[in-house]
Chain A
Amino acid sequence: MTQHPEERRLSGDEVLRVEHMTMRFGGLIAINDLSFSAKRGEITALIGPNGAGKTTVFNCVTGFYKPTMGRILMRRSNGEEFNLERMSDFEINRDAKVSRTFQNIRLFTGLTVLENLLVAQHNALMKSSGFTVLGLLGWRPYKDAAKEAIEKARYWLEMINLVHRADDPAGDLPYGEQRRLEIARAMCTGPEFLCLDEPAAGLNPRESLELNTLLRSIREKHDVSLLLIEHDMSVVMQISDHVVVLEYGAKISDGTPKHVQNDPRVIAAYLGVEDDEVDEVLEEIEEVAEEVSHEHEAGQPTGDAR
């Protein structure tokens, strides 16, 4: 799946490019000829009304669904490129270093918080245990690797403020903490590209703020690019560098948060107005848009990392 240098198709600052992707479920076209790209080191947000196809985009990118048509290219920091649509889900995580969370949290509820983070380091640990054989015989380097894995887990638990719950079953955590744990678990696989499906859903304002800090530090300290689905506009506006807007499976807007926010098509989509009525209500909408953007600027925390 590695491409020769002359076949390289992504420019250096691109990390992911989706080209003409279409996904059909029987008669339903969930994604229709979608193209966009995400830049290295940026937080790209994918927004759109319910049922627009955002999660489906994630599932295609991470290999859980195979797109009916189109290409998905991913470029790692070492220059290796991957055709994600040809790879199976676990290879996408293992080789292309794309990691994800789920809209409906999927933790291993019966395992402890710590174990959840250890499972995420499976491939690394498998190697150091000599694919179980050496580890079974008590091989020294494996023991060290196992300790290191626990330290890595501890690091991420500190990042998400959950060290004190390390030995409790993951199913016992409150919702907000489960969401954070899922992000930490995804990070423990050592990704270069992280896809988060509605990480702020169901969080209270304080938790939501903590999440922003977490995501920023993930991007800055760990050299990870993010793709983010989010309904909470304040989160989107505050932390994303680039926003892609979907409606009925098609892209209707693409640009900076500011640009998208003022795009009449976006506003129309969110207010549920038909395309041909856009002009009629444009004026009205602009007023609303203004208000919204003011609100958000006022709502931004001080010490914004950008």
Chain B
Amino acid sequence: MTAAAQPPRIPSDDRLKWALREALFAGLISFGMFVLYVGLETTQNIRNQLVLNQRWGLLAILVAIAVVGRFLIVYFIGPWFAARKAAKAAKTEVPTQSLLRRNIGWIALLALLVFPMAMVWLVGPQKSLKWVDNYGVQILIYVMLAWGLNIVVGLAGLLDLGYVAFYAVGAYSYALLSLYFGLSFWTLLPLAGILAAFWGIILGFPVLRLRGDYLAVVTLAFGEIIRLVLINWTDVTQGTFGVSGVPKASIFGIWSFEVGADNNFAKAFGLRQSSAYYKIFLFYVILAMCAVTAVVTIRLRNMPIGRAWEALREDEIACRSLGINTVTTKLTAFSIGAMFGGFAGAFFAARQGFISPESFTFHESAIILAVVVLGGMGSLFGIAVAAIVMIGGTELLREMHFLKTIFGPDFTPELYRMLIFGLAMVIVMVLKPRGLVSVRNPTAFLHERKAVSSAFTKEGHG
């Protein structure tokens, strides 16, 4: 099934034959794969018994797609790809960065700053909600989480599969402390970060000695433990019911967004009540938080600690031979990453107003990790792009109502969201194993800054 199996330069009618054979084979295989799961559907009848529904038409369509798709891939796309690869290999130089590329950060920041206003202006406050909140805020939360995890995975090379635990710690810290003690968002935001970092240290200390995939397993286990504790410690967390009525963030205590409050924002400015203002405010808050994350990450990277993280990812033993205390170095990466997760969690709780353990499943960790890896480990820009594509892209699926006219009224695009997300993960990774941005920017230079091709960087052992 791999294009690599294709022998180079075969006469075209042989290739046609070969492609046809591959297509037939793909058809057979996909028939085998789908015959039970697609051809038959298990449904409950009126007596609540399971019965089978037959869907041979759908099966035929899928098999046909496999056959045609395979044929196209083998006959057209494969050779085209190989040619492009060869052409790329011919010019080996890392392209010098254009003015646009170099200032992309500033341009993006500017665009983001005007984004909510532009949306309000374009579609009105009520309709802008969707764009500012579902797209803007949600994507930025993932950007922030992924940037936080990037410190752990991308820079220090420690595979953390339980990152969402720190997100949960942040969210529950804010939700519970604000509900029980009435503390404000702006006091609790740093506190949530500190608590998450603290948990990072507690969890990290015993496990960071572990090598490689064991670390991944233990972090996964810790992530699950924290989620299970949240579910079962009902006295405090209300278990699966979740914590609701989490107070909203205020504009530094001056204006509030709680509807009944005297200093309500809309009232103070004589505006019509709308939740859009709060969402726009949240957008700027998370944007600022992302900016802080980016600045801190960039600065840290240029500091001895950041360089030690990257060195650790490359070769831990060499690090130790240079007098670097690898345990504390890992621990700082782990806890700083956790801290950003905690910030994001507090923000998430303030935005949702309701949190439950459901939001902090392994699934979420996997998505964040996927964004980091798909973006290109270590590259803030690539990660942001990956977050936009993966999170925004799946969000867009909700919009695709026109699909209903094609596939019939029963078709619910949301259902396919995660399926497509998963497929996209696989496809992007297979096509670009090093992620979207795979070059590394050195942290210091003597003559000129040259990007380091990913062929040399290593991905860490932990």
Contact = CB atoms under 8 A, between A and B. Distances in A.
* Chains A, B in direct contact (C-beta < 8 Å): yes
Interface of A: 62, 64, 89-91, 93-94, 99-100, 102, 106-112, 114-115, 118-123, 125-126, 129, 132, 135-136, 150, 153-154, 157, 163, 166-172, 185-186, 189
Interface string B295-336: 010011001110110110111011111111110000010000
Nearest to A191: B323
B320 A166 contact: no
B318 A102 contact: yes
A115 B444 contact: yes
20 contacts: A89-B321, A94-B323, A94-B325, A108-B310, A108-B315, A110-B452, A111-B452, A112-B442, A115-B443, A115-B444, A118-B444, A119-B311, A120-B322, A123-B324, A166-B446, A166-B447, A167-B447, A170-B456, A171-B456, A185-B322
Contacts of B453: 169
Contacts of A167: 442, 445-450
Contacts of B275: none
Contacts of B442: 111-112, 114-115, 167
A109 to B, nearest CB: 5
Nearest to B448: A167
A205 B402 CA distance: 73
Contact of B323 (A64, A106, A189): A189
A111 to B, nearest CB: 6
Given A167-B448, A168-B450, A169-B456, A108 B318 contact: yes
Given A89-B321, A136-B296, A122 B307 contact: yes
B457 interface: yes
A94 B308 CA distance: 15
Contacts of B315: 106-108
Contact of A122 (B322, B445, B446, B454): B322
A119 B308 contact: yes
A62 B322 CA distance: 11
B307 A115 contact: yes
B417 interface: no
Given A119-B311, A167-B449, 19 more contacts: A90-B321, A93-B321, A93-B323, A100-B321, A109-B456, A110-B310, A110-B456, A115-B307, A122-B323, A126-B305, A129-B304, A129-B305, A135-B303, A136-B300, A136-B303, A166-B445, A167-B447, A169-B453, A186-B322
Contacts of B457: 109-110
Given A112-B452, A136-B303, A169-B453, A107 B318 contact: yes
Contact of B322 (A93, A109, A115, A136): A93
A183 B52 CA distance: 71
B267 interface: no
A166 B320 CA distance: 23
Contacts of A166: 445-447
Contacts of A93: 320-323
A106 B304 contact: no
B435 to A, nearest CB: 14
A119 B321 contact: no
Contacts of B450: 112, 167-168
B458 interface: yes
Interface of B: 296, 299-300, 303-305, 307-308, 310-311, 313-315, 317-326, 332, 440, 442-450, 452-458
B311 A111 contact: yes
Residue of A107, A108, A121 with highest tally of chain B CB at under 10 A: A108
A147 B415 CA distance: 56
A303 to B, nearest CB: 31
Residue of A99, A118, A122 with highest tally of chain B CB at under 10 A: A122
A153 B445 CA distance: 11
Contacts of B458: 109-110
A106 B312 CA distance: 12
A112 B303 contact: no
A167 B455 CA distance: 16
B409 to A, nearest CB: 53
> 5 tightest CB-CB pairs across the interface, nearest first?
A110-B457, A93-B323, A94-B323, A171-B456, A166-B446
A139 to B, nearest CB: 11
A150 B300 CA distance: 17
Contact of B321 (A62, A136, A171): A62
B325 to A, nearest CB: 5
B242 to A, nearest CB: 37
A135 B299 CA distance: 9
A169 to B, nearest CB: 4
A189 B322 CA distance: 6
B446 A169 contact: no
